[in-house]
Amino acid sequence: MLHKRNTRRVKKHSEGSWAVSYVDMLTLLLCFFIIFYNNNQSKGKSEETLLQKIAVNMSDKAIPTPTVSEKVKVKDMAEGKVAVLPEDLALLQLIKSNVLKDIDASIVGKDKSLEINFEGVSFFKSGKTQLLPEAEQKISKLIQSLEKHKNTIRVTVQGHTDTTKSKRQSYSDNWELSVLRATSVLKMFIKNGYSQEMLSAEGFADTRIDRTVASYTKEDLARQRKITLRIEPVQVKQ
């Protein structure tokens, strides 16, 4: 008798389980119709996503729609790129057009920087790291011109060498020589009050030379021993 009663109880319980599933199905259908209704009510507002449309109708505070610039910035961040802000571009344009207008140099605008190249100037004697007088004057004038913006720009000094490899050199190779030349110019910036955090030095040895030329004159070699600079706006940390 006890066994029969237990069997009837289990059976009775299983007979009512369909009601739970039915209620769940109705709940899901209700959620679907709420989403469908909100979608139709907000139809025509193409700038809002579906989730934002629902949030607008079901909450007291609406979610603001991202602007075009914000969408570009998010996309660049997702792709590992650094977004170029309008104020950065304005600063670079100001420096190129006004600050450096009297500098005798080639100034090329890149995506996020300005590259300055003093063409036709000999910066160093062969195998030396001390600036020649003419080159020192040009660098000094550049440093003075950029002084008002020294806290909003990053300056990278790039050193170069010619193809000559002297046997009596006091450095290991042209890579070391090019870095030492860049460092000697970098120290001029520091002496004029530029922060070390805003400065960096790079050496390219003789890798940026036109290799299609069969032979170089003394003037060609002198022009290869040069300094170039890159100026970038400082990214403000949010």
Q: Kindly give the confidence (pLDDT) of every residue in the chain, 238 residues in length, as a single tens digit, with 9 standing for 90 and above.
A: 444 555 455 455 555 565 557 667 777 777 767 776 666 655 544 444 544 544 444 444 443 444 444 444 444 444 445 555 678 888 888 898 888 888 889 999 887 899 999 988 889 999 999 999 999 999 999 999 999 999 999 999 999 999 887 665 678 899 999 999 999 999 999 999 999 999 999 999 999 988 788 788 999 999 999 999 999 998 655 4
Q: Are residues 101 and 46 in the same domain?
A: no
Cα(159)–Cα(202) distance, rounded to whole angstroms?
6
- Report if residue 71 sits inside a domain: no
> Which domain does 216 fall in, by range?
86-233
The per-residue pLDDT for 29 is 77
Cα(91)–Cα(84) distance, rounded to whole angstroms?
11
Q: Are residues 127 and 13 in the same domain?
A: no
Q: Are residues 122 and 199 in the same domain?
A: yes
What is the pTM for the complete model shown? 0.62
Q: Are residues 45 and 91 in the same domain?
A: no
- Report if residue 73 sits inside a domain: no
Q: Are residues 126 and 28 in the same domain?
A: no
The per-residue pLDDT for 110 is 82
Three-state DSSP state, 61: coil
The count of other CB atoms within 10 Å of the CB of residue 213 is 10
The per-residue pLDDT for 41 is 59
The per-residue pLDDT for 80 is 46
Q: What is the CATH number of the domain that holds 110?
A: 3.30.1330.60
Q: Are residues 97 and 183 in the same domain?
A: yes
Cα(124)–Cα(130) distance, rounded to whole angstroms?
6
147, burial (CB in 10 Å: exposed 0-12, middle 13-18, buried 19+): middle
- The count of structural domains within the chain is 2
- Report if residue 80 sits inside a domain: no
- Report if residue 77 sits inside a domain: no
The per-residue pLDDT for 189 is 97
Beta pairing class for 153-159 and 199-203: parallel
- Report if residue 176 sits inside a domain: yes
